[in-house]
Structure 1
Amino acid sequence: MEAVKRIFIVDDHQMVIDGLRLIIDTISGFEIVGESTSATQALDCLAALNADILLTDVSMPEMSGIELTRLVKKKFPHIKIIALSMFSESQVVAEMIDAGISGYILKNTGKQELIEALNKVSSGQNYFGQDITLQLMKSFKRNQDESSRLTDREIEIIRMIEQDFGNKQIADMLFISERTVETHRKNILRKTNTQTVVGLLKYAYERKII
């Protein structure tokens, strides 16, 4: 007989916690061992409660779900984390995935989807709701389309910028004029919709250009 999976819930709205408790209490194989409206308090409680799954809100006042996820995965790597949110923005989902979540579902989801998410995550799989998956696919395609507009020479210059080469150094290495390098840089910023080197490098890192 499989052991019951122990769940801890953190959300800054008690009503959300109460609603989740009503649903989870009807699902066999799971039990809620703790809850909190404070992410900081939740972090302290997890050490003593031996939870298997953490259900966490994404947007909380004192600590975001992203930061909480990073801390939990660092301190308690065995805990599986499912994010709960009202929003499905691809950037937020991507940051939560990078932090270490195993699932992401919207708060307006139905009971069956919550059950499916809990079952999959508890068995070692990942779960992302249909709306979330669609947003991620759209974002991936959009990023591919944006990156594909960059020429090989522009990508080459981005990689040189990342190595902190100035316009003159880039011009000398590529056997082109500084004016041409400057034109390339302006085109790169325009195509990537960035205004600074920091913004450009962030764009390039996120899209695996560098």
Structure 2
Amino acid sequence: MKYSVVIVEDHILLSQALAGLVNGFSKFKILYLCKNGRELLTRLKDPKNIPDIVLMDINMPIMNGIETTIALKEEYPQVNVLALSVEEDEKTILKMLRAGAKGYLLKDTEKGILENALVEVQETGFYHTKDVTNLLLGSLNPKKENKVQLKEREMEFIKHACTEKTYKEIASDMCLSPKTIEGYRDSIFEKLHLKNRTGLVIYAIKNKIFIP
């Protein structure tokens, strides 16, 4: 059996081209195409239309990819979302990960990477390309990650950092001074070999400290 995929993309020619690519992959088949999130949610009301994976654009009219991903997480948690976008900025990627996307691809990705991403998302639960990861994190040493021992308060900080809260708001919630919170942040970045908050979110998701 092949895994079923739905493409949500408002550019029809691109959507059709992607469908042709995915149908050529040995493990996947296209179930149908949608132009926006609202159309997808309408079609999902029929149980026969629930796919294994949704290949999701972000910038769409009526209902965008972030809004749609949040709705899918609440109503159809069994459906895996793989974001496919031209957006490279850190905030957009963070929002999609927090919304529940299992992976993030740029639209100029190669065919082989797209196929591998679909496989990884379906069979392991997440996928991030090296390009996107490097763009956000700089470099990350997985071997050193596994040896790091985090204290309880550091874990608490990481969970707060995976939300939309500012560092000042985190300090208030943890009953600490902003300067102390900055110390936690800098210490954790050094321990985990991270360069920014996005890297911390990805680390937390991969290590199940934070579940979007």
User: With structure 2 as the length reference, what TM-score do the two structures score?
Assistant: 0.64
Aligned to 2:205: none
For residues 52-76 of structure 1, the C-alpha deviation after alignment (integer angstroms, 9 at most, x for no partner) is 1001101112222111100011100
Amino acid at match of 1:162: S
Aligned to 2:109: 109
Aligned to 1:178: none
Cα separation, 2, equivalents of 1:16 and 1:23: 11
Amino acid at match of 2:10: D
Cα separation, 2, equivalents of 1:69 and 1:161: 29
Aligned to 1:74: 74
For residues 26-70 of structure 1, the C-alpha deviation after alignment (integer angstroms, 9 at most, x for no partner) is 111211111111210111112321211001101112222111100
Cα separation, 2, equivalents of 1:37 and 1:126: 24
Q: Which has the larger radius of gyration?
A: 1
Aligned to 1:39: 37
- 1:15 CA drift (Å): 1.3
Aligned to 1:17: 15
Amino acid at match of 1:60: M
Aligned to 2:160: none
Aligned to 1:51: 51
> Kindly tell me: are residues 138 and 62 of structure 1, through their superposed partners in 2, closer, same or farther at Cα, counting changes over 3 Å?
farther
- 1:139 CA drift (Å): 11
- Partner SS, residue 71 of structure 1: helix
For residues 157-207 of structure 1, the C-alpha deviation after alignment (integer angstroms, 9 at most, x for no partner) is x469837x9xxxxxxxx9xxxxxxxxx9xxx9xxxxxxxxxxxxxx9xx99
Amino acid at match of 2:136: L
Amino acid at match of 1:5: Y
User: With structure 1 as the length reference, what TM-score do the two structures score?
Assistant: 0.65
> Kindly tell me: are residues 160 and 9 of structure 1, through their superposed partners in 2, closer, same or farther at Cα, counting changes over 3 Å?
closer
Cα separation, 1, equivalents of 2:124 and 2:170: 41
Count of residue pairs brought into register by the alignment:
154
Structure 1 unpaired stretches of 5+: 141-157, 166-173, 175-183, 189-202
Match of 1:29 among 15, 27, 30: 27
Q: Does 1:7 align with 2:11?
A: no
Amino acid at match of 1:9: I
Cα separation, 1, equivalents of 2:107 and 2:170: 44
> Kindly tell me: are residues 161 and 124 of structure 1, through their superposed partners in 2, closer, same or farther at Cα, counting changes over 3 Å?
closer
> Kindly tell me: are residues 133 and 41 of structure 1, through their superposed partners in 2, closer, same or farther at Cα, counting changes over 3 Å?
same
Aligned to 2:172: 162
1:88–1:131 Cα contact (<8 Å) kept: no
Amino acid at match of 1:68: T
> Kindly tell me: are residues 32 and 85 of structure 1, through their superposed partners in 2, closer, same or farther at Cα, counting changes over 3 Å?
same
- 1:138 CA drift (Å): 4.4
Cα separation, 2, equivalents of 1:136 and 1:159: 23
Alignment of 1:127-138 (within 5 A): 127-138=127-138
- Partner SS, residue 61 of structure 1: coil
Cα separation, 2, equivalents of 1:60 and 1:36: 11
